């Protein structure tokens, strides 16, 4: 890979209200998944990816605020991969593949991994998106920045074989589903 790697941002400052509403105890990011906290699994993938990474875990009012703070903290990066901390099954190789796609498509403002035709995470943004990411606020994350890249035809959809790009832990049922996925097929 190029020396000008994008920075992986792991978002870990959400309140986890859906997890609590579904009967979860404590933080969803601290919930054990096969004995390892959800966030620790996500961070293990970040570390193993070889990409520069930053955890944004300060309390922010919304995902947009968290992304803006993380981009501000890493503003000299050569782009960003935005990964919610509640995606514990994403593979390090997939993180590298998304970063490589961003580097390999210099005209792209965004790269979105897809699994079975459905969009997942992390979504990557080029350095050209810096100002738009810094301006984010509120609960919707970077959806507006991604929509603009798609509208402008500057978004690459990257098919991956990693179901982990779509498996997030928002509820207790999601945690159980992730546990089943991690255990593999029965038999």
Name the domain count of the chain.
1
The whole-angstrom separation of Cα 46 and Cα 88 is 10
pLDDT in tens, 61-104: 889 999 999 999 999 999 999 999 999 999 999 999 999 999 99
Residue 1 lies in a domain: no
Residue 12 lies in a domain: yes
Residue 36 lies in a domain: yes
CATH of the domain at 64: 3.90.550.10
Residue 2 lies in a domain: no
**Cβ of 148: how many Cβ atoms within 10 Å?**
16
pLDDT in tens, 118-138: 999 999 999 999 999 999 999
The whole-angstrom separation of Cα 83 and Cα 12 is 9
Run of H or E including 52 = none
Residue 19 lies in a domain: yes
Cα end-to-end span (Å), the chain: 39
pLDDT for residue 1 is more than 70: no
Q: How confident is the model at residue 9 (pLDDT cuts 50, 70, 90)?
A: very high
Residue 186 lies in a domain: no
Contact in structure between 168 and 86 (CB atoms under 8 Å):
yes
């Amino acid at each position: 890979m190029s020396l000008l790697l994008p920075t992986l941002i792991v978002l870990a400052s959400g309140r986890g209200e859906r997890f609590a509403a579904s009967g979860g105890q404590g933080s969803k990011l601290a919930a054990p998944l096969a004995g390892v906290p959800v966030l620790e699994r996500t961070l293990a993938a970040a570390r193993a990816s070889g990409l520069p990474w930053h955890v944004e875990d300060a309390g922010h009012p919304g995902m947009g605020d968290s992304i803006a703070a993380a981009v501000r903290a890493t503003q000299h990066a050569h782009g960003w991969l935005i990964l919610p901390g509640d995606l514990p099954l994403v593979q390090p190789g997939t993180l590298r593949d998304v970063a490589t796609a961003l580097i390999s498509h210099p005209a792209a403002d965004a790269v979105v991994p897809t699994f079975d035709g459905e969009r997942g995470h992390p979504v990557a943004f080029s350095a050209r998106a810096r100002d738009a990411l810094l301006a984010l606020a509120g609960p919707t994350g970077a959806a507006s920045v991604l929509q603009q890249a798609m509208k402008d035809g500057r978004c690459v959809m990257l098919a991956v074989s990693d179901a982990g790009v779509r498996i997030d832990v928002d509820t207790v049922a999601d945690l159980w589903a992730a546990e089943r996925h991690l255990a593999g097929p029965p038999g």
